[in-house]
Every structure is written in structure tokens, then in C-alpha cells.
């Protein structure tokens, strides 16, 4: 090996996984030299520290290399021996670490966490997820001079343990980006006031990402204490029954916010109003719905496909108004307890908004919401392709209500159980006279061939 050119050794080493790379550097100095001279390998390599890793490592034989990426996963360092070994290990590489993450780590106190993080003078990106502190003590901040991005994740079992976590990073003025994920069922799973006080101490902070149902109630606040340039959020709004105006929060960012990304369309009952305000009045450079660019470089885009859940009916109506080129609608019914009366009022109003659609895809995971949207299906009179996936027991009767209106339907995909299958197929055959393709389960094929016997050139496809 030692006689081979460094380029050849680097190519060989690049095919090692991280664990193999680490073990090789511990036993052979040549691999340490290869790693040290290769920027690509150095950037890629991540040292993953687990309970087993800590217990088996010989700290007297650590590779003398600059490690940039370290992650600690599922480690209990309440045990003094584990904490001592982990501290020594991190201390060896503390000046080269740029990306550091901790997930499901159990500490004796938050002072242990400070000990792990202290003197990481090159650290730029820090991710902490579900940390547990056995003892609660007053928190003094830690200073990380190069820290640019801070990611914090809190789930159900860690709400109390991490309630003061923001205080630890107060006044780290280099922070530009924060990602907060709150997956707990409790919508108040992080301290709003503590978070607000924290971001007030960050003059460079301009980019916020908020994920999970646990952040929704935070957006009920009338304003945000910082002026953002980029904002990415799971959803705007807490629950449609609360009728909390989301415009107040958005208005506090108008003028500064340049890019907005929503992973869900705004919830009802004011979802349409919120979406209209975002598109027409916020003057955004870029606006994304999940991965769909609605606005790029201040220009509305031509969108051909959109997906929504039943919680965003008002927003759906607005997005069809704003983007008349949409041809495909994917409707996912999740059973979110939105009021049937409210839906009936919205969808019973005369509208031509759905005339542009050529394909409707209905994914019903709710068992009870399908019938609430019959008026929506009736509005899709020009569609050529229809997909229905449902366990709705009344499907036969419901099909009779809207299939006669879909006179241009050419392709039908039906995914359902065996209940009343013959009746369902008969309703389709009686009302879809222009049908060219029928996609069904294999076990329904024989019945379908018999029922559609009079259809010339009908293509059956098995799903």
C-alpha cells in the first residue's frame, strides 16, 4: 500500500464506509495521511458515536485527524465513565468540528451538555434532538463563536426536559438560521416566551424553519420578534374551529420576508384569505407549497398539479383562482374532523373553478369523509381521468350522484374492497359511456369483464 500514489490510495479509501474508514485509520498510519490530505474525504466522513462505540474505544489510540462531522446517537452519559470517555473523545477533535448532532442522549444535567460543547471554536451547525437532563439546574449560556445554524427537535417525552434549552444559546450573535421541530401532541410543547426572548438576542437571525404539529399554536401570535428573510413552516394555523386570524403573524413579516415555504396549504376557515394575502400582498420573491414553486423571482408560475387535504378547502378554491393552468387535483381525505356543514356551504356555491381540471385523484384514508365532498366531485365535470381509493361503504350510491356529470371520463382507476363490488361496477358501466381504460384489482377482473361486455375496445389494467 505504501508504494501506491496518493491519488490511488484516495480513490480506494473513498469506497470505505465511515466505520471502516475509522477502523483503518486506527491501525494504519497511511490511511490517516490519505484522509488528512483529501478535502473530499474530510467533508464526507462522519464519526458516529453510540453507546457501544464509547464502551469499546481505546482513547489512547485515536487517529490524529481533523474531524468535521460528529453525531452522538442514543447514549446514556448519566454514567460517569461514559461521560468521561465522551468528553475526552470530543475534546480531541473540538477545534475541527463544524457539524455536530446529538439525538436521544441522556445527561445528568445541562452542565454536561455545556462541557461537551465548550471550546468548539469551529462549530457552524448544531443539531440537538430529544435530550434528557436528569437534574434541572439554572442555565448559563454557552458561547459558540462560529455557530450559524441551530436545529432543535422536541417530541412528547422530552417536553419538560428541554423546556429551557433556548436559554443555553442566548446571545450567540453569529446564529443566522434556526430549525425548530416540535412533534409533541401538546400544541404548546415549547415555551413561546422563552423562544421569543432567545431570538431577540440574535441580530443576524433571518431564516426560520418550523416543523410539526407542536408549533401550530405559536403562529397564533400576532407578530414575531425578528424580521425574517426566509420562513419555512409545516402549516399556518392551529385548528379551523379556533378561527384564529393568521394574517397578523404574516403582516408582521411583510416587507422583510423574501421567501416562504408552506408544507400544507393554510387551514380553513380563513385559508383562502390567508393564501390570497400571501400571493397578492406580501411581495415575495419565492413562494413554495411543499416542493411546488408557486412564485419564483416574483413571478407566478404555471402549475399543472396540486394536492390538498380536506382541511384546506378554502385555500383550494383560492389556489384554483390564482393558477388557472392546474389540470390535476389530488385530494387526500384524512379525517381531520372538519365540519360537514362548513364543507357543504363552501362546495354548494356555484363555481367554474373546477372546469379546468382534467384529472381527479381521491385518496380516502378517513372511512367517513368521502360523502362530504360529493359537491366537489360534481364540479369536476370536464375530467378525463378519475382515481378513487376508498373503503367508503356507500360508494355505489355516491357514484350515482357525480358520475353522470363526468361525461368526458375516459379512464377510471378504482381501488376498493370487495363489498358490493358488482353494484359499483354496474354504476360505472351505466354512467361512463366514453370509458376507454378501467384499472381494477385482479380479483375484480372477471366480474368487470362480464359487466362491461358491451364496451368495445375497453382496456382492463390490473393494479
Q: Which residues pair with 210 in a beta bridge?
A: 180, 233
* Residue 453: inside a domain: yes
Residues in the chain: 463
Residue in this structure with the C-alpha cell 441522556, named with its chain if needed: 106
Distance CA 36, CA 343 (A): 63
Output the pLDDT for position 347: 78
Output the pLDDT for position 45: 96
Output the pLDDT for position 176: 98
- 8 Å CB contact between 235 and 229: no
Residue 127: strand, helix, or coil: strand
* Residue 25: inside a domain: no
* Residue 255: inside a domain: no
Structural domain harbouring 429: 322-462
The dihedral sign for the CA sequence 349, 353, 358, 359: negative
* Residue 220: inside a domain: no
- Which residues does the chain have with pLDDT short of 70? 1-3, 136-138, 184-188, 222, 237-246, 268, 337-344
* Residue 341: inside a domain: yes
Distance CA 397, CA 394 (A): 6
Q: What is the CATH number of the domain that holds 434?
A: 3.80.10.10
Our CA dihedral for 89, 92, 97, 102, rounded to 10 degrees, sits at 20
* Residue 390: inside a domain: yes
Output the pLDDT for position 362: 97
Question: DSSP string spanning 386-409?
Answer: EEEE---TTHHHHHHHHGGG-TT-
Output the pLDDT for position 367: 73
As given in the structure block, the three cell numbers for residue 380 are 369536476
Whole-angstrom Cα Rg for the chain: 28
* Residue 306: inside a domain: no
Output the pLDDT for position 1: 62
Output the pLDDT for position 242: 47
* Residue 366: inside a domain: yes
Output the pLDDT for position 312: 86
Number of domains in the chain: 1
- 8 Å CB contact between 441 and 413: no
How many whole angstroms from its chain centre is CA 415?
Answer: 27
Amino acid at each position: 500500500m505504501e508504494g501506491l500514489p496518493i491519488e490511488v490510495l484516495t480513490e480506494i479509501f473513498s469506497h470505505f464506509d465511515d466505520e471502516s474508514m475509522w477502523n483503518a485509520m486506527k491501525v494504519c498510519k497511511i490511511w490517516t495521511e490519505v484522509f488528512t490530505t483529501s478535502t473530499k474525504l474530510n467533508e464526507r466522513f462522519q464519526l458516529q458515536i453510540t453507546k457501544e462505540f464509547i464502551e469499546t474505544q481505546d482513547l489512547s489510540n485515536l487517529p490524529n485527524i481533523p474531524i468535521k462531522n460528529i453525531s452522538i446517537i442514543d447514549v446514556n452519559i448519566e454514567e460517569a465513565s461514559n461521560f468521561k470517555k465522551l468528553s475526552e473523545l470530543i475534546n480531541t477533535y473540538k477545534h475541527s468540528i463544524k457539524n455536530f448532532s446529538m439525538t436521544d442522549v441522556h445527561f445528568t444535567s445541562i452542565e454536561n451538555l455545556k462541557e461537551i460543547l465548550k471550546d468548539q471554536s469551529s462549530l457552524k451547525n448544531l443539531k440537538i434532538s430529544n435530550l434528557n437532563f436528569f437534574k434541572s439546574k439554572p442555565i448559563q449560556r454557552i458561547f459558540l463563536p462560529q455557530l450559524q445554524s441551530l436545529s432543535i427537535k422536541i417530541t412528547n417525552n422530552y417536553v419538560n426536559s428541554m423546556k429551557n434549552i433556548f436559554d443555553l444559546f442566548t446571545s450567540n450573535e453569529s446564529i443566522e438560521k434556526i430549525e425548530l421541530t416540535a412533534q409533541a401532541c401538546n400544541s404548546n410543547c415549547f415555551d413561546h416566551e422563552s423562544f421569543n426572548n432567545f431570538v431577540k438576542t440574535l441580530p443576524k437571525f433571518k431564516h426560520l424553519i418550523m416543523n410539526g404539529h407542536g408549533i401550530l399554536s405559536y403562529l397564533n401570535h400576532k407578530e414575531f420578534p425578528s424580521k425574517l428573510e426566509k420562513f419555512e413552516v409545516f402549516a399556518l394555523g392551529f385548528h379551523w374551529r379556533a378561527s384564529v386570524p393568521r394574517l397578523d403573524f404574516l403582516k408582521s413579516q411583510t416587507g422583510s420576508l423574501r421567501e416562504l415555504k408552506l408544507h400544507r396549504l393554510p387551514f380553513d376557515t380563513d385559508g383562502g384569505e390567508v393564501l390570497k394575502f400571501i400571493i397578492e400582498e406580501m411581495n415575495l420573491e419565492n413562494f413554495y407549497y411543499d416542493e411546488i414553486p408557486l412564485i419564483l423571482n416574483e413571478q407566478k408560475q404555471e402549475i399543472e398539479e396540486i394536492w390538498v387535504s380536506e382541511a384546506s378547502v378554502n385555500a383550494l378554491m383560492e389556489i384554483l383562482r390564482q393558477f388557472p393552468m392546474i389540470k390535476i387535483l389530488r385530494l387526500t381525505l384524512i379525517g381531520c374532523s372538519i365540519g360537514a356543514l362548513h364543507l357543504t356551504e363552501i362546495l354548494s356555491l356555484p363555481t367554474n373553478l373546477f372546469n379546468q381540471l382534467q384529472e381527479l385523484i381521491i385518496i380516502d384514508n378517513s372511512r367517513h369523509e368521502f360523502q362530504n365532498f360529493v359537491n366537489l366531485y360534481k364540479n369536476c365535470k370536464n375530467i378525463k381521468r378519475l382515481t378513487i381509493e376508498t373503503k367508503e361503504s356507500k360508494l355505489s350510491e355516491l357514484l350515482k350522484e357525480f358520475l353522470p356529470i363526468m361525461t368526458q371520463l375516459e379512464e377510471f382507476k378504482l381501488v376498493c374492497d370487495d363489498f358490493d363490488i358488482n353494484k359499483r361496477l354496474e354504476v360505472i358501466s351505466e354512467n361512463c359511456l366514453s370509458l376507454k381504460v378501467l384499472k381494477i384489482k385482479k380479483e375484480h377482473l372477471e366480474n368487470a369483464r362480464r359487466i362491461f361486455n358491451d364496451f368495445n375496445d375497453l382496456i382492463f389494467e390490473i393494479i
